């Protein structure tokens, strides 16, 4: 092998409760596509605003014990953003599930985001093509809604009212003027 073509793949890791946990070094295509699409929806919307969208690869320091690398986050307090990452809870945090990370995303990390005061949390399932949207209320995450892509056969079986609701855009709690189409997030995935 030509040494000029060789590269060292960086091992990505997080700290959960003081424990170092290896992350998958390279996300699968669908995972990366979904995270990228969510990032660009927010990046385009927030252009010129104080809040900023931050994509995958940026460290999030919640404490000495907890350092995560979310798939996407929105931070409205620019003082939290430093050269080495974000220090303090983001306003919105998004985790796209992978088989190796789903338990942490739904368990420990969700609890930490809640404890440190993230205002909104999305758990995105590539396999189910849905987004669970949680809002922080009185210190606890409460499931607001689950938004999903419905197959054509299911849409045909719905009433006109049900179909309209299933296809309607949804909103992030932080931005009343931003409508999000579920199909904009999940279109173009590999089967």
- Which CATH number does the domain housing residue 65 bear? 3.90.1570.10
With cut-offs at 50, 70 and 90, classify the pLDDT of residue 100: confident
CA–CA distance, 178 with 167 (Å, rounded to integer): 16
Mean pLDDT of the chain: 89
167 versus 52: the higher-pLDDT residue is 52
In a domain, 180, yes or no: no
> Given this model, what pLDDT does residue 7 score?
39
Q: What is the pTM of this model?
A: 0.88
Beta-strand relationship, 130-137 and 120-125: antiparallel
Compute the average pLDDT of residues 143-170.
92
In a domain, 190, yes or no: no
Partners of 53 in the β-ladder: 74
The answer to whether residue 108 scores a pLDDT higher than 60 is: yes
In a domain, 91, yes or no: yes
CA–CA distance, 159 with 162 (Å, rounded to integer): 5
The answer to whether residue 162 scores a pLDDT higher than 60 is: yes
Compute the average pLDDT of residues 132-152.
96
> Given this model, what pLDDT does residue 180 score?
96
In a domain, 6, yes or no: no
Residue 64 tokens read as: 């000495």
Write b or e for each residue in 113-139: b if 16 or more Cβ atoms lie within 10 A of its Cβ, otherwise e.
Answer: bbeeebbbbbbbbbeebbbbbbebeee
In a domain, 128, yes or no: yes
> Given this model, what pLDDT does residue 2 score?
46
Residue with tokens 């929806």: 41
Number of domains making up the chain: 1
The answer to whether residue 9 scores a pLDDT higher than 70 is: no
Nearest to 176 by CA among 75, 45, 37: 45
With cut-offs at 50, 70 and 90, classify the pLDDT of residue 34: very high
Residue 141 tokens read as: 């995450």
The answer to whether residue 136 scores a pLDDT higher than 60 is: yes
> Given this model, what pLDDT does residue 10 score?
58
Q: Which residue range(s) make up the domain with 60?
A: 13-174
Partners of 12 in the β-ladder: none
């Amino acid at each position: 092998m030509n040494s000029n073509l060789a590269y060292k793949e960086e091992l990505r890791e997080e700290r959960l409760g003081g424990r170092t946990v290896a992350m998958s070094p390279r996300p699968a295509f669908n995972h990366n596509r979904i995270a990228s699409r969510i990032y660009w929806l927010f990046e385009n919307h927030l252009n010129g605003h104080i809040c900023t969208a931050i994509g995958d690869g940026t460290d999030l320091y919640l404490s000495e014990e907890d350092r995560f690398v979310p798939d996407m986050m929105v931070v409205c307090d620019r003082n939290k953003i430093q050269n080495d990452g974000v220090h303090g809870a983001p306003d919105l945090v998004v985790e796209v599930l992978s088989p190796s990370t789903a338990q942490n995303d739904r368990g420990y990390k969700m609890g930490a985001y809640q404890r440190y005061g993230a205002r909104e949390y999305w758990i995105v399932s590539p396999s189910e093509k849905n987004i669970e949207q949680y809002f922080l209320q009185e210190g606890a995450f409460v499931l607001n809604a689950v938004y999903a892509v419905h197959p054509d056969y299911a849409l045909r079986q719905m009433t006109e009212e049900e179909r309209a609701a299933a296809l309607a855009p949804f909103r992030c709690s932080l931005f009343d003027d931003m409508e999000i189409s579920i199909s904009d997030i999940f279109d173009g995935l590999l089967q």
